[in-house]
Amino acid sequence: MSGDVSSAPWDEAEREAVYRVITERRDMREGFLPDPVDDAVLTRVLEAAHRAPSVGLTQPWDFLIVRDEAKRRRIRDLAERQRAVYAASLPPARAAGLDRLKVEAIREAPVNIVVTCDPTRGGRNPLGRHVQPRTAHYSVACAVENLWLAARAEGLGAGWVSFFDERELAAELGLPAHIEIIAYLCVGRVAAFPPAPLLALTGWARRRPLAWAVHDEEYGRRALPGEDIVNPIEQTVAAIRPLDEAAMRDARDHQARLTKPPGSLGVLEELSVRLCGLAGRCPPPLPEPASVAVFAADHGVHAQGVTPWPQEVTAQMVANFLAGGAVVNAFAAQVGAEVSVVDVGVAADLDPAPGLLPRKIAPGTADMTRGPAMTMDEARRAVETGIEVARDLVSSGARCLVTGDMGIANTTASAALVAAFTGLPPEQVTGRGTGIDDATHAHKIEIVRAALDRHGLPGRADPLEVLAAVGGLEHAAIAGFVLGGAALRVPVVLDGVIAGSAALAAAALCPDALGACVAGHRSAEPGHTAAIAALGLRPLVDLELRLGEGTGALLALPLVQGAVRVLHEVATFDSAGVSGKDAGRRNDAITE
């Protein structure tokens, strides 16, 4: 057919230009120059946007150009008001990061472009919209991307401002009621394009590697084209490295030059040294913002009467976490941490809610006294889920991970895991959980013993087999969470006995993962004391807590952050001009 476009690949220079504009596209929020944008250039950019693919060729987009300064000032005020509302909802560390993301580009950029969607365009039966009604919105997103890339090719910066109440903005713009706003873009010449996305440069988020996002044939089978299927657990374990000895030497030397008596911060000094070894530099990044992941699951061993609490409490407490009414929420608010709840195995179906990560592997485990609590595949998938949650939280900006848990009867599974990994007898590691009486406690010990005997534990060398035999879905996920944090060299603050027993599994899978672990507190559960002793960890807090949820770890979080802040902010003898007894001015010159 005459006029056909050639199907031959473009030459190398042309391909390079396409990939370059994709790679160098930036979301510009500052640095706009007042120079006007040439009308011909702007038309070319809009033409590129208008050539975007649309389902059914409905072309549901329109472009509203806003140059008027008074109007842009009013729009900026709308955005700033909503930005302030959002900032007030954030923990302090996140709010501080948001302060660096201003909305002044609305006024500073010479052109604003509002990209809208008309979901009624195309009439009653446009191709493709019957089954997926939101294809109009997806099509407009393609137009936004085309506009953005064309702007970069023309040397124009573009910034997407999303701090708007859509109908409030629509009223300011005089849009018809059926028109929806997809994007508000600030466009203009800029002084320079940053070397990386601004959100990455400010620490708000990190870019996920491509290998995390490509699945082969079915979701969860990760592999880049032409490469072998990735085993996420093996890949994560391979990425974990021992603590950096050079960084720890630097940290000890720096501690010796700080204006304080030697060893005066006790355990916190060695903690700061370990965190330098984890990060591979001194001082290490401040461990903030922090994210708590409360892994929730139910347990088949509940049927053996090991707790007086009904299994339904697991789902009810998850709802409480999501509503912000639990102790973990109160403590997280106190220390400025974010809380996410991960459903890896709650027996009930949970409604979608902000903060809920639906990752259900199974509706609870089986009764470990009658057979394996999990299949090997379930145990593996739960560990992988924990790894993925750690990756996602770190990618979204977390610089410290905190373990949390919820699951009625999970202290029974924890006791079995601690006994299996340490070799201690059930009576030494089985506690009273939520406060059971003597008779129930004695019964619980015998249930743990029966489960261990049934599965020949201790004695199995494969940590996944141990998890599958007597663990919970949340234990396996927390083990993966620890591995994921260690691979990304981010500290993981452990909570009580559930986290401690899961950390035993993580350490069995990869001993070097312990380099990322901080024992937040010592639980009143005897199994926790046994676990942290086996792990060689020193708890930071000992308040006889036995709640779980992540509460003890959150109470310790300021101590972890303070240990690092000392390295960042405390003066050395040289910088403070404090005299010492030797030329090196070390802090052994100070006495009380």
The DSSP bridge partners found for residue 356 are: 341
pLDDT given at position 407: 97
- Same domain assignment for residues 180 and 293: no
Q: Which domain holds residue 364?
A: 267-302+323-569
- Same domain assignment for residues 280 and 155: no
CA atoms of 150 and 520, how far apart (whole Å): 51
Which candidate, 569, 567, 557, 570, places its Cα nearest to that of 287?
557
- Same domain assignment for residues 292 and 416: yes
Sign of CA dihedral 417, 423, 426, 427: negative
Looking up tokens 């032409």 gives 226
Assigned domain for 140 exists = yes
pLDDT given at position 93: 81
Give me the DSSP letters along 306-369: --SS-TTHHHHHHHHHHHT-SHHHHHHHHHTEEEEEEEEE-SS-----TTEEE--SSSS---TT
- pLDDT, one tens digit per residue, over 423-481 is 999 999 999 987 899 999 999 999 999 999 999 999 888 999 999 999 999 999 999 99
CA atoms of 232 and 212, how far apart (whole Å): 9
Q: Is 549 a catalytic residue?
A: yes
Q: What is the mean pLDDT of residues 393-412?
A: 96
pLDDT given at position 579: 56
Which of these three, 182, 198, 214, is where a domain ends?
Answer: 198
Which of these three, 178, 198, 218, is where a domain ends?
Answer: 198
Which CATH number does the domain housing residue 118 bear?
Answer: 3.40.109.10
Question: What is this structure's pTM?
Answer: 0.90
Q: Strand 180-189 relative to strand 156-161: parallel, antiparallel, unpaired?
A: antiparallel
Assigned domain for 542 exists = yes
Question: Is residue 162 scored above 50 in pLDDT?
Answer: yes
Question: Is residue 589 scored above 70 in pLDDT?
Answer: no
Choosing from 338, 388, 525, 549, the catalytic residue is: 549
**How many domains in the chain?**
2
pLDDT class of 383 with cuts at 50, 70, 90: very high
Pair of tokens at residue 402: 């905190």
